[in-house]
């Protein structure tokens, strides 16, 4: 079947900026774009604050992890973990001891086993919070970006991640994905989602953002960020743009180090600021800070999380943002390299933060803030200012009226047939065909019936979806092919490569799932050896789309980008390879040549279709 370069390209930076300017998406927000305040509601909330003790006020500023599937009856291993890390036995005890204003869910903390358990946990947490003297409901949060960052897995609906949506380029699909995700989170009692990622990924070597970003074009990213804000918040869940002032041009992971971004102020305005401006314009509920240093924005070289010039001077005063500011996790190394764990929360509040997320030692952090207020370093009025923003958000979400969820809504909302069908349709519009020089695709069941699926099998982001090779095998089987899966890992040794080569002989085609291939990667050696068998090889990048730069010259017959290894995106890739769907995605980032990174191999907007 003849191929053509897709005409469905993403907006160019100029065209997108023009379109966004016409809708006001990138304009500096005016006071009218801020969250409207209700005088009577504010009076009620201020009365609540006036009746709180200092300890209760400080507790409201913290959002904390806790181990266990239940608020009151966790497993013994989780009780032990809570005692070791937090000094309490249960989530209910955490709430009564520290009066925390929020809880964050993690898969590894055993908070997200299944939908009904999650809803029961949320209800248990809210009951514990309302039993306290202040009777304040909780903000229950998680990182449900979809794609490679996903805390709630199947049977909840899994959706394409940010860069996949960027490849689709559809504002309606992007908003629809967030609306579905938000509706399911709300049904589970999760009312604050740390998404979307508003970073502009202009550095292919970025180790922590990558496909979590919508792309490299600031205007295109800004447009899609605004759509996700509307989708999440339209479903009744607080949305969070991250990581301010922009984590897209780093080569250091802030989980393990302190990145420095050397953008000039003008470059920041051009590259990093537009998505955050768009989020503010869309009346986003919360914005998350980044543990990064941007000398052009703050010459003190404090991380942005602790920088008053960045958080108050730029975010509050210049961008006009008056919503909740939440830190990235305070357990990350990026915020702990310069100051001790007792100083970090104090400095964050002085910088303009409202919520202090997941400190490594809650007792140290909580007591440090109490002492700072008692000693006059932080005024109680400053604390009240943050609590008012937090309570306004809880009020907007309806938590004062009814913070509980019903098991009936869980069953009819989470993972519904309509949501799953929509996710599949959206995913089909994101898969990108990068190269097919011999017009091999789509594969025919008559001429390419017997397939071998090999390659990398990274761990599932939610812990519930199958490894890529198995998922692709099953997807091809459902499409009428005979398929065999062989996991070779991200660094196959010679024995594993030889096993794959032997398995490939006599097959009609080989599909290889690649994961962050480099010039010296054993994955490249694997692909080269498979090509040498004479069997056509189709490469599917299951994370960053840059893999093709290192596979050029190996002789692969076709290359695609799936942008994630979750089931929904891999099933879509299989349907595209088999011709059951047209590859409609286009690159939202440029792919540079591996031998000369100054030269672009495939530009933004590149993509082929059948």
Copy the structure tokens of residue 93: 């005890």
- Cα–Cα nearest to 215, from 240, 223, 207, 281: 223
State the DSSP H helix or E strand holding residue 559, giving kind and residue range, or none if neither: strand 558-561
Instruction: Give one DSSP letter per residue of 349-366, joined into a string.
Output: HHHT--BEE--S-HHHHH
CB atoms within 10 A of CB 108: 10
Which tokens belong to 292? 């990064």
How far is 258 from 278, CA to CA, in rounded Å?
27
Could you report how far apart the first and last alpha carbons of the chain are, in Å?
7
- What tokens does 112 get? 């997200």
d(CA 443, CA 446): 9
Q: Which two tokens stand for residue 143?
A: 């990182």
Residue 451 CA to residue 219 CA, distance in Å, equals 41
328 is catalytic: yes
* Distance between CA atoms of residues 443 and 481, nearest Å: 10
Q: Helix axis angle, 218-234 relative to 13-23, nearest 10°?
A: 40
b/e sequence 357-392, b meaning 16+ C-beta within 10 Å: bbbebbeebbbbbbebbeeeebeeeebeebbbbbbb
Name the strand (E) or helix (H) holding 514. strand 509-514
Q: Cα(572)–Cα(568) distance, rounded to whole angstroms?
A: 6
272 DSSP assignment: I
Q: What separation in angstroms does the CA of 326 have from each of 355, 428, 561?
A: 4, 34, 33
Q: Calculate the CA dihedral of residues 295, 299, 305, 310 and round it to 10 degrees.
A: -90
Read out DSSP for 490-557?
SS--HHHHHHHHHHHTT-SEEEEEE-S--TT-HHHHHHHHHHTTTS-EEEEESS-TTHHHHHTTTT-S
Known active-site residue 291: no
Q: What are phi and psi of 550, to 5 degrees?
A: -95, -5
Q: Are 591 and 436 in contact (CB under 8 A)?
A: no
User: Of these residues, 35, 114, 253, 255, which one is catalytic?
Assistant: 255
- List all residues 6 or more positions away from 437 whose beta carbon is below 8 Å from its beta carbon: 557
Question: From the candidates 328, 395, 436, 567, which is the catalytic residue?
Answer: 328
The residues, any chain, with a CB within 8 Å of residue 253's CB and separated by 6 or more, are 207, 208, 259
Task: Tell me which residues are annotated as active site.
Answer: 255, 328
């Amino acid at each position: 079947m003849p191929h053509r370069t897709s005409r469905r390209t993403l907006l160019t930076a100029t065209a997108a900026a023009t379109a966004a300017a016409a809708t006001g998406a990138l304009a500096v927000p005016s006071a009218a774009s801020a969250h409207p305040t209700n005088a009577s509601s504010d009076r009620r909330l201020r009365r609540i604050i006036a009746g709180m003790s200092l300890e209760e006020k400080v507790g409201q500023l913290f959002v904390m992890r806790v181990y266990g599937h239940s608020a009151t009856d966790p497993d013994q291993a989780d009780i032990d973990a809570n005692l070791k890390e937090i000094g309490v036995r249960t989530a209910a005890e955490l709430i009564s001891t520290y009066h925390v204003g929020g809880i964050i869910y993690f898969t590894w903390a055993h908070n997200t086993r299944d939908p009904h358990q999650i809803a029961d946990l949320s209800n248990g947490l809210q009951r514990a919070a309302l039993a306290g003297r202040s009777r304040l409901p909780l903000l229950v949060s998680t990182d449900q970006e979809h794609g490679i960052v996903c805390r709630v897995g199947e049977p909840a609906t899994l959706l394409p991640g940010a860069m996949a949506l960027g490849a689709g380029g559809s504002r309606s699909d992007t908003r629809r994905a967030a609306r579905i995700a938000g509706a399911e989170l709300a049904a589970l009692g999760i009312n604050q989602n740390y998404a979307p990622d508003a970073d502009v990924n202009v550095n292919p070597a970025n180790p922590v953002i990558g496909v979590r970003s919508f792309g490299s074009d600031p205007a295109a990213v800004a447009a899609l960020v605004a759509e996700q804000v509307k989708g999440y918040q339209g479903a009744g869940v607080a949305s969070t743009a991250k990581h301010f002032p922009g984590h897209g041009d780093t080569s250091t992971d802030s989980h393990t180090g302190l990145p420095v971004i050397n953008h000039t102020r003008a470059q920041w305005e051009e590259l990093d600021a537009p998505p955050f401006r768009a989020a503010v314009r869309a009346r986003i509920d919360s914005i998350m800070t980044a543990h990064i240093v941007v000398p052009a924005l703050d010459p003190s070289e404090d991380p942005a999380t602790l920088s008053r010039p960045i958080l108050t001077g730029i975010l509050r005063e210049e961008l006009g943002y008056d919503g909740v500011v939440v830190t990235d996790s305070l357990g990350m190394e990026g915020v702990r390299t310069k100051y001790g764990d007792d100083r970090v929360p104090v400095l964050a509040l002085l910088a303009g933060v409202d919520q202090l997320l997941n400190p490594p030692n809650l007792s140290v952090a909580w007591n440090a803030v109490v002492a700072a207020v008692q000693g006059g370093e932080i005024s109680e009025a400053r604390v009240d200012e943050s609590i008012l923003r937090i309570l306004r958000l809880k009020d907007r979400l309806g938590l004062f009226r009814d913070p509980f969820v019903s098991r009936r809504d869980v069953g009819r909302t989470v993972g519904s047939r309509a949501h799953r069908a929509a996710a599949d349709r959206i995913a089909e519009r994101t898969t990108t065909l990068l190269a097919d020089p011999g017009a091999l695709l789509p594969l025919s069941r008559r001429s390419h019936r017997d397939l071998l699926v090999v390659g990398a099998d990274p761990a599932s982001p939610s812990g519930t979806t199958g490894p890529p090779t198995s998922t692709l095998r099953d997807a091809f089987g459902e499409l009428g092919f005979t398929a065999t899966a062989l996991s070779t890992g991200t660094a196959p040794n010679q024995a594993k490569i030889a096993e794959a080569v032997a398995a490939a002989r006599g097959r009609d085609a080989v599909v290889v799932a690649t994961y962050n291939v480099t010039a010296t990667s054993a994955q490249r050696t694997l692909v080269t050896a498979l090509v040498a068998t004479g069997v056509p090889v189709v490469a599917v990048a299951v994370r960053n789309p840059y893999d093709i730069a290192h596979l050029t010259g190996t002789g692969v017959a076709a290359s695609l980008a799936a942008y994630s290894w979750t089931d929904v995106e891999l099933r879509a890739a299989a349907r595209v390879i088999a011709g059951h769907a047209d590859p409609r995605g286009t690159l939202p980032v440029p792919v540079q040549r591996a031998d000369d990174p100054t030269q672009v191999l495939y530009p933004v907007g590149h993509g082929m279709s059948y």
